[in-house]
Amino acid sequence: MSQRKSLFGALLSMEVFTLGIYIMIFGLIFFQGWLSSVCLIFLAFGVCEAALGLSVLVSLVRSVGGDYVGGLVLGHF
């Protein structure tokens, strides 16, 4: 995360990672023939994570004026 230029890029990469894991879980459950709600539970956690990330991003932009991770890591608020 510290090598990213902005918090938005880090959050976006986390969402792509979550989507990849969701596709892997869905494929495993679909090909095994199980009927489970694991996919829906994981998707709900992914949506909650996205909403929390977006709220942190909005509050950071409103308070600091930017979403650069460098300033966040160094503590220059």
Task: Tell me the per-residue pLDDT of 10-27, one tens digit each, with 9 for 90 and over.
Answer: 888 888 898 899 888 888
Domain count, the chain: 1
**Per the domain annotation, does 2 fall within a domain?**
no
Judge whether 52 and 18 are in contact, CB under 8 Å: no
Q: Pick 9 or 75 by higher pLDDT.
A: 9
Q: What residue numbers bound the domain in which 25 lies?
A: 7-74
Assigned domain for 23 exists: yes
Whether 46 maps to a domain, the answer reads: yes
Residue 52 lies in a domain: yes
> What number of other Cβ atoms are within 10 A of residue 11's Cβ?
19
Residue type, 53: G
The residue ranking higher by pLDDT, 70 or 40, is 40
Mean of the pLDDT values across residues 46-60?
A: 87
